[in-house]
Amino acid sequence: MKNILKVLAVIIAAIMIVVIVKTMNNKPVNNQKEVVLEAIPQNALEHMSAAIKIKTETPNDDYQFDTATFMSYRKFLENSYPLIHKNLPRTIIDSFNYIYEWKGSDTSILPMVLMAHYDVVPVEQSAVKLWHAAPYGGEIKENYIWGRGVLDDKSSMISILEAAEAQLAKGFQPKQTILLCFGADEESSGKGATAMVKYFASQNKKFDLVVDEGGEISTENNKSVKAPIASIGVGEKGYVTLVLTAQKAGGHSSIPASHTAIDILSTAIAKVSENPMPTKLTPPIEAYLKSVSAYNENFIDKMVLSNLWLFKSNVINKMAEEPTSNALIRTTLVPTVFNSGVRDNVIPTFATAYINSRILPGETTKDVYDYVTKIVNDTNIKITYYKNYMTEASPTTNVESKYYKRVEKIIRSVVKDVVVAPMLMVGATDSRNYRTLSEGVVNFTPLTNAKGYHGIDERMQISDFQKCVNFYTLLIKGE
């Protein structure tokens, strides 16, 4: 007995030593060198302001563009960036999507793609009075540039153009061919990006690094981490909606049967809500925890996160408690529509509900269908896909790849003492289409705590504009 206790004590001591050593060795990446940013080009602010004034609202459901407005945006581009239009051949795809090709000196290297979109979501008329600037005024005040689209995504587009125009003015020629790809309908159907990728595929093009909007910098709500966190999007969740229909003979509500269509469907929905899909730590999220944990200033948290080999289930359980972190560790299921009944004294024959799901990489729309069918386990419920609109989760970019490492290095040159970590995107962007042509798709723009996306007071800090132009300049220069 005594010997068993002794052995146990030795094992526990050994585990404790491993845990402590792993925690101590989990050190932040040293990033103490000064960050010196180049000033933004003259006129850059005027250009951004002019871009916002042109109301490039995304096409409506019938895919109608406001042609005059989109043409005037094209004129604005041609007038503001003369060197780009003189030196980089432009291909127009489906009326308003543009590809500019900047030939590199070494064509043996695959091209890099810098992407952005310039359509914007419409401004809600009833909310205009809540804005602190005219939504399409392009006003510059209080160290911000204000207006619809300034973040999403004219910040990227104008910054890419400013960076390219400035380098052309210096007579710079890149080693690697660079394609500047600008979409006109990301906020609606995203058909432009699909068409551009189809065009590239027809020419058997393959790409090196592809950079699109998505990940950003956050200095808020980072528990126990004081340093800014830059999240690089490395993959996107999938999307599907299931329709659950219960059918049961209805009738007069004065003589109800024991189980109505509403009862059956409610039970099914309750089962789905009580049985979420299993949790899973995917490689990007595991890498995120690893990157961020080194900067954690709470010793216990740091110890737990530095030793996932021992504490993985504790970490997953903790993450499952918060909606934002829960969405990163499982395929989510949530009822979004529930329909039944027409009158207070009529038992309805049908009841219908929609369950929307966002799917983790590694799982599929079919897995979601099978899982819900198994959990509901009721032949009275018919389950179908909603409108056949679904997307599978994207492949993810490896965080050890040269693509990720290159963007990480550039972020460190633009933001001092920054934590760089990968992130899974829960929404969709144009760049998902490019994953068939590149293993190096990443989503990142150096905006900090950006607010107002699709809502009121959309605005960008002037200092972020400077970071963005510097970020794209370094990419163009091949750093």
**Shortest Å distance, C-beta 241 to Zn ion:** 22
Residue type, 191: K
Which among 57, 119, 187, 464 is annotated as catalytic? 119
**Shortest Å distance, C-beta 197 to Zn ion:** 17
Half-sphere exposure of 188 (CA within 13 A, CB side): 19
Q: Which residues bind Zn ion (CB under 5 A)?
A: 152-153
186 is catalytic: yes
Q: Which of 478, 472, 479 is nearest to 163 (CA)?
A: 472
300-309 own/partner pairs: CB under 8 Å, 24+ apart: 301/223, 301/224, 302/23, 302/26, 302/224, 303/19, 303/20, 303/23, 306/19, 306/22, 306/23, 306/25, 306/26, 307/18, 307/19, 307/22, 307/23, 308/281
Phi, psi values for residue 229, rounded to 5°? -110, 120
Can you tell me the distance from the alpha carbon of 92 to that of 183, in angstroms, rounded to the nearest whole number?
10
CB closer to Zn ion, 104 vs 192:
192
CB closer to Zn ion, 153 vs 363:
153
**Shortest Å distance, C-beta 136 to Zn ion:** 17
CB closer to Zn ion, 429 vs 438:
429
Q: Say whether the peptide bond before residue 263 is cis (omega within 30 degrees of 0).
A: no
**Shortest Å distance, C-beta 155 to Zn ion:** 10
**Shortest Å distance, C-beta 345 to Zn ion:** 49
The H or E element spanning position 146 is strand 144-146
Give the list of residues 6+ apart from residue 398 with CB closer than 8 angstroms, or none.
234, 283, 404, 439
Which among 186, 212, 236, 408 is annotated as catalytic? 186
Contact yes or no for 334/284 (Cβ under 8 A): no
Q: How many CB atoms lie within 10 A of CB 230?
A: 24
Length of the chain: 479
CB closer to Zn ion, 51 vs 246:
51
**Shortest Å distance, C-beta 187 to Zn ion:** 6
CB closer to Zn ion, 152 vs 458:
152
CB closer to Zn ion, 117 vs 248:
117
Give the list of residues 6+ apart from residue 361 with CB closer than 8 angstroms, or none.
235, 237, 238, 282, 284, 393, 394, 395, 396, 424
- The DSSP code for 277 is P
CB closer to Zn ion, 360 vs 450:
450
CA distances from 433 to 83, 115, 197, 202, 228 (A): 29, 12, 7, 14, 30
152 is catalytic: no
**Shortest Å distance, C-beta 174 to Zn ion:** 26
> Known catalytic residues?
119, 186
